[in-house]
Amino acid sequence: MKFIENGSVTSPKGFSASGVHCGIRKNQSKKDLALIFCEKRCTAAAMYTKNLVKGAPLTVTKNNISDGYAQAVICNSGNANTCNADGVEKAEITCAAVAKKLGISEKDVIIGSTGVIGQPINIDAILSGIDPLVDSLSDDGNAAAEGIMTTDTVKKSFAVELELNGKPVKIGGIAKGSGMINPNMATMLCFVTTDAAICSELLHEALVYAVEKSLNMVNIDGDTSTNDMMTIMASGLAENECITEKNEDYFVFAEALAALAIEIAKAVAKDGEGATKLIIARVYGCQTDECARSLALSVVSSSLVKAAMFGADANWGRVLCALGYAGQDIDVTKIDVSFVSDAGRVEVCKNGAGIPFSEELAKQVLVCDEITIDINMNDGMEYAEAYGCDLTYDYVKINGDYRT
């Protein structure tokens, strides 16, 4: 398995994509509508936010792919189409319009929306964008990746290549962050394509496996969005033997999908609202997987750890504090903590107590833009990683006046 340079949702066979400005956003230089299309009907699967307040597009998508198939994804940014009385109706009108133009069934359209909650969505703008959107479909995934961005500062677009029984297979994905992001429920918006041949049921299982290891281990601000969704469409055009049981091909595919999803998770965390750095909490030596996951998430979620990382302050006491309130049964006296980055490694806590360390080295380690907090619980064999970012002035700035 390897990553494809400049890979995207159009890397797998059969897929094209596009993105345009249709007028939902005031800024005309920002694309606000994206399309992914496959020349062939795909098996499909999705995971949705567990927030009980759900965007209308999720309701419509869930209904449309209940048969396990889809052929296109349409997604707008700038408005979440959530908490509006006519939201479902407008989402259905959008699906019907794009399906008509593409010549496919409206029940084979996945629809997403992201942006402000509770403001009526401008359906006229969307409908006016569908012709240019379909007409500009190409094998370049960049415009679509841009069309789904909200406060993201960089587009998230990746693809991997693997082999299934000798046949080359590709998986590509685009995603948007970068606020209202909290794991353990679902994920941000992320649309994945593949040319693998795989049945809907196992596609869903592989998706769940990948999300648990990746997007569900990200926390930017503790707020679980109303519109989070991750979808995958598999065209089968790689012509591998169709995966219909949990054979070796299935596990190779699921691992590759997880690797892609972890890369997307890191990109989303690193581009968290206002973030200047990626924080990885790597927790070793736990008795259970659940314990390791919970501890890792607690550390990347702590506002105080996040603020300390912004200030490049080796305040490891806050790491122990976050481990202590994670709700796991832990032995504090066994915990070792180090900070690690490209600049080196500095051990700061051994057996739950502070040890002398070079503040100078710590500073060098912590000014880097990717920091791993290495935590050994010395209490078992299980391991987990969680992804977050620092808490900065800009997070407050971005969210202090988001609507205007």
Which residues form the interface with a second copy (CB under 8 A)?
50-54, 80, 82-85, 116-120, 179-180, 182, 185, 221-226, 301-304, 307-308, 310-311, 313-318, 320-325, 329-330, 332, 349, 352-354, 391-393, 395-404
Nearer to a second copy, 31 or 54 (CB): 54
Asked if 214 and 183 touch (Cβ cutoff 8 Å), the reply is: no
Distances (CA, A) of 85 to 89, 99, 230: 9, 24, 24
Q: Is 94 a catalytic residue?
A: no
- Minimum Å distance from CB 135 to a second copy? 33
Nearer to a second copy, 22 or 309 (CB): 309
Q: Which residue has the tokens 């880097």?
A: 368
Q: Which residue has the tokens 């094998």?
A: 139
- Minimum Å distance from CB 259 to a second copy? 28
Residues in the chain, total: 404
Asked if 230 and 186 touch (Cβ cutoff 8 Å), the reply is: yes
- Minimum Å distance from CB 172 to a second copy? 30
What DSSP element (H or E) covers 23? none
- Minimum Å distance from CB 306 to a second copy? 8
CA–CA separation, 286 and 380 (whole Å): 4
Residue 317 is classified by DSSP as: H
Kindly state the tokens that stand for 145.
């990746």
Quick one: how many helices (H) and strands (E) in the chain? Answer: 11, 15
Nearer to a second copy, 104 or 116 (CB): 116
Nearer to a second copy, 226 or 240 (CB): 226
Neighbours of 337 (CB within 10 A): 23
Asked if 108 and 41 touch (Cβ cutoff 8 Å), the reply is: yes
Asked if 233 and 71 touch (Cβ cutoff 8 Å), the reply is: yes
Nearer to a second copy, 115 or 172 (CB): 115
Distances (CA, A) of 119 to 81, 94, 203, 274, 364: 7, 17, 34, 24, 46
Residue 112 is classified by DSSP as: E
- Minimum Å distance from CB 124 to a second copy? 19
- Minimum Å distance from CB 298 to a second copy? 10
Nearer to a second copy, 136 or 378 (CB): 378
CA–CA separation, 187 and 165 (whole Å): 31
Nearer to a second copy, 43 or 224 (CB): 224
Nearer to a second copy, 94 or 224 (CB): 224
- Minimum Å distance from CB 318 to a second copy? 7
CA–CA separation, 217 and 265 (whole Å): 8
Closest CA to 67 of 257, 241, 213, 200: 200
Asked if 302 and 384 touch (Cβ cutoff 8 Å), the reply is: no
Kindly state the tokens that stand for 119.
């403001």
The conformational region for residue 222 under phi > 0 = left, psi -120 to 50 = alpha, else beta, is left
- Minimum Å distance from CB 302 to a second copy? 5
Sign of CA dihedral 270, 272, 275, 280: negative
43, 187, 224, 372: which is the annotated catalytic residue? Answer: 187
What residues act catalytically? 187
